[in-house]
Amino acid sequence: MAAAVVAASVLPAGAAAPAEGEVRVPVRYAHQRLDWRPCGDGSPLECAWMAVPRDWHHPDAGPDLTVAVSRHRATGPGGRRGVLMTAAGGPGASGLDRPAGLVKGEPGLSAAYDVVGFDQRGVGRSTRPVCQTDEEFRELFAHDFRDRSPAAVRGVLRRSRALARDCAARGGGLPPYLTTEQTVRDMDLFRALLGVRKISYYGPSYATMIGAYYATLFPRRVERMVLDSNVGWAGSWEEFETGQPKSFQRRFERDFLPWLAKYDAVYHYGRTAREAKARWEARRRALAEHPVTVGEALVGPNQLDNGTIRALYNAEEGFPALASALVALDSGDDARPDGRQAAEKLFGSYLSPAFLAEFFSVTCGDTAWNRDLDTWLERSARDSSALPLAGARELAFASVCAYWPSGPAPKVRVTGAGLPTTLMLASVHDPATHYEAAVKDHRALRGSRLVTVAGGDHGQFHDGNACVDGIVTTYLLTGRAPARDTTCPAVPLPAPEAASGK
């Protein structure tokens, strides 16, 4: 989509000076004016588009990219205190609608801030690459990642190599420039075009890395910052992602399976966590031999893994849905319609070729990866055996990065130098952004305050936790952070009304 920008007669605040990250903003970008219009489809937001260079370090070396941006205007202009920027996780998720969710139920934030968001380069309504068709992408998950036979392993490597090759060949030259460092320079142009010298920021999941990198490159542009469920930006993507098999298995075995056993009278899936796990494993073995069709979804062993992984992110939404879907799989043709719908929804979709084009561009391009396949074959064999839920797919994901062409992204070392107090949130059983990474991030970000949640959901703000919500809103509205690291109790796990499987 072409950028809807208009030349401005007055330079936006801060746009003329060289960026703190030592990259000058060319005049043709700094002199844009955002042409705000309704986003459409009943959205309460306004949208616009801005042009950015493909490569901020060589702005004349390639075609411009378009970045879609959005805003929710402050409802109390008399008390308006500034701009609160937010971004999406993934990498690969859309952030354009995030301002609407952030202000929902938060009249104080809605009144005090213009809340703005964006689809980062490579995502959603911004310029994005096309790497594979839906059919090619489905092949990536069409088999059984636990199968370690020579033929199966060769197949995993072949499909991962094809994905890396297809992104390089079909991506329009974009993947090397879809990095976190390039994204935060887009952010700072957005800030300048909004006419403000500083922003506050809220970012969950991968957006914590976006925020941490922005704060490192532009510390004097930051007023307040909340980083929720932190990826391991203090280290490398390789280090962070090799910690995920442990955290997903921990969430599955210590939270979901005991919860499922507690409600055996509802789901009849086992009276103990061990019994429930044995039944889940039996179902997986059966699907490996004979995949089943539920609605339009073909469910095999990888689809069972994928749906289970998805359900672990949020207990309130995910645990009952997964339990009902498991019952429906066991019930076969006798499953109730709502149970079959739950199974089709949970096991029938996982990620997308568009999502993974951005995901691998960022995770393979931001930081260096070990490209020795023997190392990954050995490690993935161990993790597939000991931590199989996410460990089984480790070889497929890591080998994409092992085959990925080396990119130009500079390593950004986060220290917290020059920043105001930053608020960090993390839960001890978060499956996707493990607590160990958050602790390491906290140590790297000098002057930060860590709020630990004694639970397991991914994403703490607006998760029904009054303790967390109170700390975050107080901080964003007044600047007051806890005097020291603190802990909030967990949100109670949900109690199901009835099984919907049979």
Element (H, E) at 171: none
Query: What's the pLDDT tens digit per position in 89-126?
Result: 999 999 999 999 999 989 999 999 999 999 999 999 99
Rounded distance between C-alpha atoms, residue 132 and residue 354, angstroms? 8
For residue range 178-219, list pLDDT tens digits in order.
Answer: 999 999 999 999 999 999 999 999 999 999 999 999 999 999
Q: List, for residues 127-186, the tens digit of each pLDDT value.
A: 999 899 999 999 999 999 999 999 999 999 999 999 999 999 999 999 999 999 999 999
Please indicate, yes or no, if residue 209 is contained in any of the structural domains. Answer: yes
For residue 95, is it within any domain?
yes
Mean pLDDT over residues 291-317, rounded? Answer: 96
Active site residue 57: no
User: First-to-last CA distance in the chain?
Assistant: 47
Instruction: Please count the CA atoms within 13 angstroms of the CA of 63 that sit on its side-chain side.
Output: 9
Question: Could you tell me if residue 253 is inside a domain?
Answer: no
Residue 58 annotated among the catalytic residues of the structure: no
Is residue 39 in a domain?
Answer: yes
Domain that holds residue 83: 5-126+195-237+412-489
* Average pLDDT value for residue range 242-265: 98
Tokens 């996410």 -> residue: 390
Query: What stretch of H or E contains 170?
Result: helix 150-170
Domain-located, residue 247: no
Contact 457, 463 (CB under 8 A): yes
Selected catalytic residue, list 186, 430, 441, 463: 430
- pLDDT tens digit sequence for 482-502: 999 999 999 999 998 655 545
- Per-residue pLDDT for 428 more than 80? yes
Catalytic residue among 110, 205, 229, 384: 205
Total domains present in the chain: 1
CA–CA distance, 184 with 501 (Å, rounded to integer): 46
Per-residue pLDDT band for 276 (boundaries 50, 70, 90) equals very high
Active site residue 268: no
- Residues 17-76 have pLDDT tens digits of 444 556 789 999 999 999 999 999 899 999 999 999 999 999 998 899 999 999 999 998
- What is the residue-averaged pLDDT of the chain? 93
Residue 434 within any structural domain of the chain: yes
Instruction: From the candidates 97, 448, 458, 500, give the one annotated as an active-site residue.
Output: 458
Partner residues linked to 5 by β-bridges = 34
Quick check: is 57 in a domain? yes
Q: Band of the pLDDT at 266, cuts 50, 70, 90?
A: very high
- How much is the pTM? 0.94
CATH code where residue 26 lies: 3.40.50.1820
